[in-house]
Structure 1
Amino acid sequence: MSTTRPYSPGDRGPEPGDGGASGTSPGGTPAGRRTRRLNFDGASGVVPLARDFARQALYEWGWLPAAGADQRAAAEDVLLVVSELVTNACLHAEGPDELRIACEKKVLRVEVSDRGTGQPAPRTPHRAGRPGGHGMFIVQRLCLDWGVIRTTGVAGKTVWAELGAPA
């Protein structure tokens, strides 16, 4: 399911005081949405850096260590989606600017911002045996929904994807 909606159905998007990296509201009380941000300014090796950052968030939020096969598969899906979105920013833009991971209830949202002008889309028709071009197909298959946010007057875009927690 490919979309250009800025947010998935029913999601009002980021709200003021959405928790920041600490997971608390500005007043210091626990927030419903936990968020972590990683700025890539001047970083090298951004794909492994992004995966490590995402893995730390999964530990912090209780997705890891995995208690069973379903939970382990859900965590691996998150890491794969992070890798694919960051890799796409490296290949098709000037590299990623920021990775944002947010968890609210049983949905985890991954956002990768870059300065690229391209429009990500799964390659069609998809041919499994062909090298390359599988990133957005993988994202589409693993995620509940995904899309692109563009802000008028601002260069670049944010590609987002949402994954569900295991039952």
Structure 2
Amino acid sequence: MTGRGAEGPQDVGAESARRQGPADPQQVETRPAGAWEAREMEEQPQAQAQVRRLPLRGSAGAVTRCRDFTKAALVDWGWLPARTTEGRERAEDVLLLVSEVVTNACLHAGGPQELVLRQSGSDGRLRIEVSDGSPDRPRAHSPRSPAQPGGHGLMVLDRLAGAWGSAEKSDGSPGKVVWVEVARPSRGPWLRHQRPGTP
């Protein structure tokens, strides 16, 4: 459905363009749904997009690891500490969205395989990607009462995310990537609390 491991974390700094010259106008390029947005961030050097990757293996402790990893990225990218109530709420939304997507992968997809965070340098938009080994896409269920336990993950995505969906893995391996996009609460430039050696 398309909507509106054990290794340590890997940080990728400001991405530089790797252009190989003008494309052949006769050549038609196809990509899985959602891949165009990632390509836009990765191939625009002027945007200075930031990418961080956390390889994962299994479900044990995955949610906590992903939240801690995301929180550290938000600090380095200037989302935290927030200077306004809106900024604080938006950062909390990001952490909740990460928890929901990772939890869904743990419960329904055999566990997450990788968390990728992509921040656009042009507008500060944050894209969260969680890959897993299951080909089954998230499907919205019939509306249910918030008082009923369980089954509210997609409701949270609908309410908090600017856009979300799922796509095939770009490398063609089995499984999928569930992605979520969150807009920055205000325009840049933003204060960065960058630790030495971090992008």
Question: Does the alignment reach a TM-score above 0.5?
Answer: yes
Secondary structure of residue in 2 paired with 1:76 = helix
Equivalence for 1:91: 107
Specify which of 152, 155, 163 is matched with residue 174 of structure 2.
Answer: 155
Identity of matched residues, %: 41
Q: Where in structure 2 are the equivalents of 1:4-43 lying within 5 Å?
A: 6-7=33-34, 12-15=36-39, 18=42, 32-41=48-57
Give, as a single letter, the amino acid of the residue that structure 1 aligns with 2:48.
Answer: G
Higher strand share: 1
Runs (4+) off by over 6 Å: none
**Preserved contact between residue 122 and residue 133 of structure 1 (Cα < 8 Å):** no
Q: How far did 1:43 drift?
A: 7.1
1:51 and 2:67 correspond = yes
- Between 127-136 and 148-157, report the one with greater CA deviation: 148-157
SS in structure 1 at match of 2:51 = strand
Distance 1:94 1:103, change over 3 A: same
Residue aligning to 2:94 = 78
- Matched-pair contact (CA < 8 Å) for 2:59–2:111: no
Q: Is 2:3 the counterpart of 1:3?
A: yes
Structure 1 stretch displaced more, 90-99 or 147-156: 147-156
**Aligned residue pair count:** 155
Distance 1:35 1:151, change over 3 A: closer
Normalising to structure 2: TM-score of the pair?
0.70
In 2: Cα distance, 1:145 partner to 1:155 partner: 24
> TM-score normalized by structure 1?
0.83
CA contact (8 A) 1:143 1:162 kept: yes
From the CA coordinates, give the structure whose radius of gyration is larger: 2
Question: Which residue of 103, 107, 127 maps to 1:109?
Answer: 127
Q: Which has the higher contact order (CA 8 A, sep 6+)?
A: 2
Q: Structure 1: which 5+ residue stretches go unaligned? A: 20-24
Report the Cα distance in structure 1 between the residues aligned to 2:52 and 2:147, rounded to whole angstroms.
36
Residue 136 of structure 1, CA deviation: 1.1
CA contact (8 A) 1:123 1:134 kept: no
Unaligned 5+ runs, structure 2:
5-31, 187-199
> Partner residue of 1:133?
151
Q: CA RMSD in A?
A: 2.6
Q: Which residue of 2 aligns with 1:22?
A: none
Pairwise CA distance, 1:12: 2.6
Taking a change above 3 Å as real, the CA distance of residues 135 and 163 of structure 1, as seen in their structure-2 partners, is same
Deviation of the 1:34 alpha carbon: 0.6
